[in-house]
Every structure is written in C-alpha cells, then in structure tokens.
Structure 1
Amino acid sequence: MGIDPDHIRETVTAYTSAHPEEDAVLARVLERLDRGEDLSSRKTFPLHVTAGAVLVDENGDVLLVRHNALGKYLTPGGHLEPEDVDLRGAALRELREETGIRTGIEPLSPDPVHIDVHDIPANDAKGEPAHQHADVRYLFRTTGPVTVTLQEEEVSGVAWRSPDALADEVLRDRVSAAVR
C-alpha cells in the first residue's frame, strides 16, 4: 500500500505553514505531487521522499551512523517502504533497522523537526541516476539506556555527538533548541 500522497502533502503543507521561510524549497515536492508522481517510490526521479530520525539521548547528544553508500556520518534514515503507513513511522522503522534499537525511544513531536531537500549522487550499482531526496526528519529521544546493533549492510559505525556536529544548520539549530 505505502504512504498515501495526501499524507505527504499534508505533512509538507503543515511544515511550511510553521516554517514559511522553507516554502520555496519545498514547493517542488508539492508540484510533483500535483502532477501525480509517486514520491514514496525510490524509483521516482529526479526527486522522491525519504524519512529520517534524529535520536537524542539524556545528555542531548545525537546518534550518528556511518552510511556505507556515502561514507559519511549522518542521522539514520532511508527510503520509504510499501509497508509504511506514515512518515514518522517510516523514520522510526529506519532508525530501528539501521541501529537495532527496539525499545527506549519516544517521539518528541508528532511533526517533523526538519524537511531537507538534498542531492544524491548517481549509484551505478543500483542503476540510479543522480537525484534528490526530500528527507522528512523526526526528532526522537531515548528514555533510558539503548543498545545499538548496526545493520552492517548499510551502516558501519556509530557515534553520539553534540548537535553541533550536525552539518545542516537548520537541523542543528532546531535540535539544539529542542534539547535545551
């Protein structure tokens, strides 16, 4: 079944209402939905929606995982799957898949902390051209100790870092404000 396009539209529209300064960047997501494109499919180019999780611990540090495909430490996240019913659930699924964390997590808000549109390089091994992800990121926190067991096919390292380590300035500012 997958995530309904109306859910994506409602999420992006509510987000841009709260963050009108990001309206121009996210307008292309809404335009593609208006054209009937299936943005929940990783096969939709040049842009599709992904889901990300920002997990903070009791010290306010953020969990970063080293993504094998990009060779960078990033927050957990990835493509939407047919079994996903909403974006926050997809973000939580990705967090659990990549880190093995099953318990001790709760959302800090029902709304995305950030939606970022960024470039993804071509991946010849997967037959994917260069494209863009509209990554809908949700903020979660640990409710106690968590055990990380990495999904080694996709990630190869883990680090808890200050929100200052987040590369995206908007995300960094919002996470820092939320953990204060």
Structure 2
Amino acid sequence: MSLYEDAVLVLKGYGAQGHGADPEQHRLRDVYLEHLAAHPDGVYKPCRAGHITGSALVVDPARGRVLLTLHKKLGMWLQMGGHCEPDDATLAGAALREAVEESGIASGLTLLPGGPVRLDRHPIPEPCNWHLDVQYAALAPADAVAQISEESLDLRWFPYEEVAAVADTSVVRLVEATRARL
C-alpha cells in the first residue's frame, strides 16, 4: 500500500472514530479527501495546491504536560510535525518520525491508539497554498529526555493549563482533543 492509499484510508476512517460529531472536523475530512482525489501527489511537499502533513503532540499524561517546539521559521510554539517523505509508508509513521526527530526522544514514543486526534488546515506561504495536517498524539515514556533539534529555537514541556498562554488556537484544540482521548 502506498502512502497516498494509506492517507485515503485513514481519512475515510476518521469520521468513524467519533470525530464525525464535530461538523468542522467532518468538513475538513471531506476537504482532505477531495484534495487527494484531485491531486495524486497531494501527500508530498511539491504539490503546490497544498499537501498532507503529519504531526504529533508529545504528551506526558502522568505529569499532565505536553512538549512543544518553538519553530525556527515560524517563531511559534507548536506540536512536532512536518512533511511526508518518500520513505514514509503511513501517515501515522510520518507523524511519529517527525515527533522523534523534533523532540529528540530517541526511543519509547508511541502513538495514542485510535488514529488521528484532529485535522487542521492552515495556509502557508507561496509557492504552496495549504498544509492539510493530520494530527496525532504521541505518548512519552516516563524517562523521556527531550533534546532540541535544528528545526527549533527552543523545546519545552508545558503543563496543560499553560498551553493557551503560549500557543495558538490550533495547538490548544489539539491538546483538548488529546486530553479527551486519554
């Protein structure tokens, strides 16, 4: 199965995972599926109409906190994430790879069962138009040691309650949706 085929299956199953009750998430899922139907290359960065990205919020539920990165290019506190690569077999694998690379947590990260937690579509600068982000949550092991990557200005654990003070609405919604699934 190709990454494209996996993306279509993941998105078709997304509404069946209980997210269909949220009209905005249901609408976004349809937008993502329409995008993929129109763009067979829509999972990769070169697709100028926009492309699927995979991200993962790294969570330490035992301590009630999340790991955020201060993105070097955007100057914003965000979850770990980025573009799908040719070696990625699945969206979940792409999100987990990004979480490992950007968090520096070399082993023990596992995705929260049940598939993606949220979808978030946001505009990006030309030459592309959109990131169609498929957002997962990654559970950190108790002994997790984070290490800043080249893509970050900073990397920091935030208690759930402090995220709204440092991050945008998209990240806040991702934290809320993740906590609801824990």
Normalised TM-score (structure 2):
0.85
Deviation of the 1:89 alpha carbon? 0.9
2:156 partner amino acid: A
d(CA) in 2 for partners of 1:93 and 1:177? 24
Maintained 8 Å contact 1:53/1:76: yes
The structure with more helix, counted as a fraction of residues: 2
Return 5+ residue gaps in structure 2 as ranges.
none
Distance 1:12 1:105, change over 3 A: same
Equivalent in the alignment of 2:173: 170
> Is the CA contact 1:101–1:148 (under 8 Å) kept in the aligned structure 2?
yes
Is it true that 1:26 corresponds to 2:23 in the alignment? no
Asked whether the equivalents of residues 68 and 155 of structure 1 are also in contact (C-alpha less than 8 Å), the reply is: yes
Report what 2:153 is aligned to.
156
Structure 1's consecutive aligned runs of 4 or more residues displaced over 6 angstroms after TM superposition are none
Q: Are the structure 2 counterparts of residues 172 and 98 from structure 1 closer, same or farther at C-alpha, using a change threshold of 3 Å?
A: closer
Separation in 1 of the partners of 2:149 and 2:176?
Answer: 29
Gaps of 5+ in 1: 123-127
Question: For the aligned residues, what is the CA RMSD?
Answer: 1.9
SS in 2 for 1:37: coil
Aligned to 2:10: 11
2:3–2:91 contact (8 Å) kept in structure 1: no
Shift in Å, 1:74: 0.3
Aligned match of 1:141 in 103, 122, 139?
139
SS in structure 2 of the partner of residue 42 of structure 1 = coil
Q: Secondary structure at the match of 1:170?
A: helix
Amino acid at match of 2:139: R
1:42–1:139 distance in 2 versus 1, CA, 3 Å: same
Larger mean CA deviation between 47-56 and 108-117 belongs to 108-117
1:70 equivalent in structure 2? 74
Matched, 1:88 2:73: no
Instruction: Give the aligned length.
Output: 171
Identity of aligned residues (%): 32
**Greater mean alpha carbon deviation, residues 24-33 or residues 110-119:** 24-33
Alpha-carbon separation, structure 2, partners of 1:46 and 1:84: 21
Q: Matched residue of 1:54: which SS?
A: strand
Does the aligned pair in 2 maintain the 1:118–1:132 contact within 8 Å?
Answer: yes
User: 1:65 touches 1:158 (CA, 8 Å); kept in 2?
Assistant: yes
For residue 136 of structure 1, what is the amino acid of its counterpart?
V
Match of 1:125 in 2: none
What letter matches 1:47 in structure 2?
G
